[in-house]
Amino acid sequence: MKISGFTFVRNAIDLYYPVVESITSILPIVDEFVVAAGDSTDGTTELLRTIKDPKVKIIETVWDKNQFVHGATNAQQTNIALDACSGDWAFYLQADEVVHEDDLQPLVQRMHACLDDRRVEGLLFDYVHFFADYDHYQIAHGWYRREVRIVRSGIGVRSWKSAQGFRRNGQKLHVALAGGRIYHYGWVRPPRNMTRKAHAFNTIHAGPQQANAWYPDLNREFDFGQLHGRARFTGTHPAVMRARIAAKDWEVQPGNSIQRHDQLGNRVLTFIENRVLGFRLGEHRNYILLPS
């Protein structure tokens, strides 16, 4: 069995993406790791080359501004990397997603177990969405709990919409539980870097004009909102994140903006889901979970 890893990235340094930590977190179990490295202006491609491992294969790309609609460029770049994968399985990580070392060997065992079961088109991960700092994660309504991050190669799987998940011939993948976790650090950044990340995100989703209107000052500190919907994290972070976490030099206080989880309706739903029902209402599920 051969395992490929793949990702895409652009301007990871300026936008504070832990892309090196992300890649190195699964290097021990992959046979190759393909990176679609966009036309960065901050030295990101050079940073990727500092990963001195022959498994890492860098494909330099130029982002097409015509694809800056609803995040289409994310899927395009993801597919460039996916198409270069040669493994039986392709393990996708976005540049702010990291895997814990405790999950690596169980994931390999899971891929072995599912290799000959052609019903299984992908493997589904549990998510830990850290928010504002490394000590809290989101359990609020509207935050997806699971997503597909390992897909079977050679069956026509494509990145879907803004590259959150995958589909095959436009249809949801049939997946099994991976038994692993994705540690998502997309909302943990110094406040100024978070503003730049939000500007970059909105540029490829709503266009540069709208992004400039929403974020006219890229040096302004981001308002993380009222910090509702968070739970304290009591576990351990992946070992590859230790240096970055130790270097944290900012503190986030409740702000004035209203994030989606700060809205009263979502706060009520969060309480009902977590304290009464034990499941999410209207949960995002871009997959079909096979019976275990």
Reduce the secondary structure of 59-86 to three states and give it as a string.
Answer: EECCCCHHHCCCCHHHHHHHHHHHHCCC
Q: Which CATH superfamily is domain 3-187 in?
A: Spore Coat Polysaccharide Biosynthesis Protein SpsA; Chain A (3.90.550.10)
Has residue 278 got a pLDDT over 90?
A: no
What are 125-129's contacts with CB under 8 Å, separation 24+?
125/149, 125/150, 125/178, 125/180, 125/181, 125/182, 126/180, 126/181, 126/182, 127/181, 127/182, 127/184, 128/181, 128/182, 128/183, 128/184, 128/233, 129/184, 129/186, 129/187
Has residue 66 got a pLDDT over 90?
A: no
Give the pLDDT band (50/70/90) at residue 70: confident
pLDDT for 231-260, tens place per residue? 999 999 999 999 999 999 999 999 999 999
* pTM for this predicted structure: 0.96
Task: Please report which helix (H) or strand (E) contains residue 22, including its range.
Answer: helix 19-26
Domain boundaries, the chain: 3-187
Q: Per-residue pLDDT averaged across 19-40, rounded? A: 98
Has residue 109 got a pLDDT over 90?
A: yes
Q: What is the dihedral of CA 234, 138, 79, 10, to 10 degrees?
A: -80
Q: Per-residue pLDDT averaged across 39-58, rounded? A: 97
Give the pLDDT band (50/70/90) at residue 127: very high
Residue with tokens 């990235």: 9
Has residue 82 got a pLDDT over 90?
A: yes
In the chain, the percentage of residues whose pLDDT exceeds 70 is 100
Distance CA 25, CA 100 (A): 7
Among 72-86, 110-124, 216-230, 276-290, the range scoring the smallest mean pLDDT is 276-290
Structure tokens at 283: 């949960």
Q: What is the DSSP string of 135-162?
A: TEEE-STTS--EEEEEEETTS-EEEETT
Q: Which among 151, 175, 167, 156 has a CA at the least distance from the CA of 93?
A: 151
Q: What is the DSSP string of 177-223?
A: EEEEEEEEEEE-S-HHHHHHHHHHHHHHHH-HHHHHHH-S-TTSPP-
pLDDT for 131-177, tens place per residue? 999 999 999 999 999 999 999 999 999 999 989 899 999 999 999 99
Structure tokens at 68: 């800056």
Q: What pLDDT was estimated at residue 279?
A: 80
Residues 224, 259 contacting (CB under 8 angstroms): yes
Q: Which among 66, 82, 59 has a CA at the least distance from the CA of 10?
A: 59
Q: Which among 18, 89, 79, 82 has a CA at the least distance from the CA of 48?
A: 18
Distance CA 290, CA 92 (A): 20
Has residue 283 got a pLDDT over 90?
A: no
pLDDT for 182-230, tens place per residue? 999 999 999 999 999 999 999 999 888 999 999 999 999 999 999 999 9
Has residue 282 got a pLDDT over 90?
A: no
